[in-house]
Amino acid sequence: MALLRRGMKGAAVKRLQRELKLRGFDPGLIDGEFGGGTEAALMAFQWSENLVPDGIAGPRSLAALELSKPADVWPDVLPGVTVQAVSEMFPFTPIGNIRENLPPVSTALTEYELTDKPMVLMALATIRAETESFKPVAEGLSRFNTSPRGHAFDLYDGRRDLGNQGAPDGERFRGRGYIQLTGRFNYTRFSEQLGLGDRLIREPELAADPLIAGRLLASFLKDKETRVKRALLEGDLRHARRLVNGGSHGLDRFSDAYRRGEQAIADVV
């Protein structure tokens, strides 16, 4: 389905204007010309419906206005997410790693309906920020998780905010995967969310398995999809990164990958 955006004209724009006005979001003249008034009215409607307020009438906005079928989705860019395109986002990564691990990531993004360009770029840029090797990894020892005379990950053992219950929880539930899933609470939550029962609690190392790591990444981003898209469409990559990481760790790699991806992965109209 074609998108409706500023500068366009025609019957479809007039239907959009009419529907916005009926719902209390006055675009001004119902003239079939998508100008500033229509854009502002559409953005107000999008905010009210918890949609991404980008001023573009894409499939989800049109569905909310009952101008298209609810089954419509954002344009799918995954066919253009090739190994070569992703390698341009990961200039220091062996292409074999991308070739091996891109398929399960793409499968997970499809499963969670995150195939539009902003969310695909968000997922791939997040991977580069967390593990530039494009491999799901397990957290290593550092001064932030292990005390000078302590056992491995002892500083995580008593972290109540992570749901840990003492040794050996720190080491068992250390960061793993593409999003560095950490803590008994998160392993429990996402094990259930992925339909794995308590398997990640019994076998926490599975969080670094490529198939499960891809699903963990997609599930995590799906929970934050609307907020992440708002940040991305406002050009606030720092905030988008913070929504996933809680801080700015890896922001330089994240931003570089995202901007490279904007050029490497084609838009779908």
Beta-carbon contacts of 206 under 8 Å, excluding residues fewer than 6 positions away, are: 196, 199, 200, 212
**What pLDDT digit, counting tens, does each position of 107-132 carry?**
999 999 899 999 999 999 999 999 99
Closest C-alpha to 182, from 209, 153, 202:
153
Per-residue pLDDT at 70 exceeds 50:
no
Average pLDDT in the 189-199 region?
95
pLDDT range class, residue 1, cuts 50, 70, 90: very low
Percentage above 90 pLDDT, the chain: 78
Lowest mean pLDDT among 3-17, 114-128, 202-216: 3-17
Domains of the chain: residue spans and CATH: 11-64 (1.10.101.10), 78-136+214-264 (no CATH), 137-208 (3.30.20)
Q: Say whether pLDDT at 67 is over 90.
A: no
Report the pLDDT averaged over residues 128-140: 95
Mean pLDDT, rounded, for 62-86? 81
Q: Token pair of 261, please?
A: 């991806």
* pLDDT at position 182 over 50: yes
Does residue 187 carry a pLDDT above 70?
Answer: yes
- Record the pTM: 0.75
